Amino acid sequence: MFHPDRGNVLAALLMAGISIIVIGFAPLKLFWILIFPAVFIYWVLRSRTTVGEDGITVTRAFGSDTSVDWEHVDGIGFKGARTFLRTTDGRSHSLPGVTFNSIPRLAEASRGRIPDTVTAAAEAADGKMEVIDRDGNKILLTQEQYQEHLAEKQASQENPKD
């Protein structure tokens, strides 16, 4: 089960405290400002994404819940800080509580149905060096490849082309 970070409740309480100070200047006109922190706290506590054997269930604070069976899951995607579930029929559903950093947990919970690209990329880069080539592109090289790269670079400096 994936929830929005519960630390957001602390931020909402801080927002409510500041709102109370503002409301103190005109309580009869500004009492409604406390609705915003309350709605935000409700969203944090209610929204979640549940991954199980049957599929993925999205529980929304506002709106209807959505369940998608594994055979209808096409993949996940990211747009800014939001994570989306794509279905085989082309629809997308926001996944509350799922971030890019939670992909390894999501892959484990889905039992490999959603691949763990974060860990795979980290393992592929393990022990490699990042080098910027002549075109300004970053490339990963093993120690042996880096030594060859240095030798080629040194040879090209010793024998400049006219």
Structural contact between residues 43 and 50, judged by C-beta atoms closer than 8 angstroms: no
Residues 56 and 107 in one domain: yes
Residues 119 and 62 in one domain: yes
pLDDT value at residue 33: 92
Residue numbers in the chain where pLDDT is lower than 70 = 124-125, 160-162
Taking the C-alpha atoms of residue 100 and residue 77, their distance in angstroms, rounded to an integer, is: 9
pLDDT value at residue 124: 67
Residues 37 and 56 in one domain: no
pLDDT value at residue 76: 87
**Domain housing 148:** 127-158
pLDDT value at residue 141: 78
Residues 134 and 153 in one domain: yes
**Helices and strands (DSSP H and E) totals, the chain:** 6, 8
* Tokens at 34, concatenated: 């406390």
In this structure, what DSSP letter does residue 70 have? G
Residues 57 and 118 in one domain: yes
Taking the C-alpha atoms of residue 151 and residue 17, their distance in angstroms, rounded to an integer, is: 63
Q: pTM here?
A: 0.68
pLDDT value at residue 161: 64
Taking the C-alpha atoms of residue 107 and residue 63, their distance in angstroms, rounded to an integer, is: 27
Q: Mind giving me the DSSP string for 149-160? A: HHHHHHHHHHS-
* Tokens at 151, concatenated: 């030798």
According to DSSP, the residues that pair with 140 across neighbouring strands are: 130
Name the domain count of the chain: 3
In this structure, what DSSP letter does residue 28 have? H
According to DSSP, the residues that pair with 93 across neighbouring strands are: 85
In this structure, what DSSP letter does residue 81 have? T
Residues 109 and 136 in one domain: no
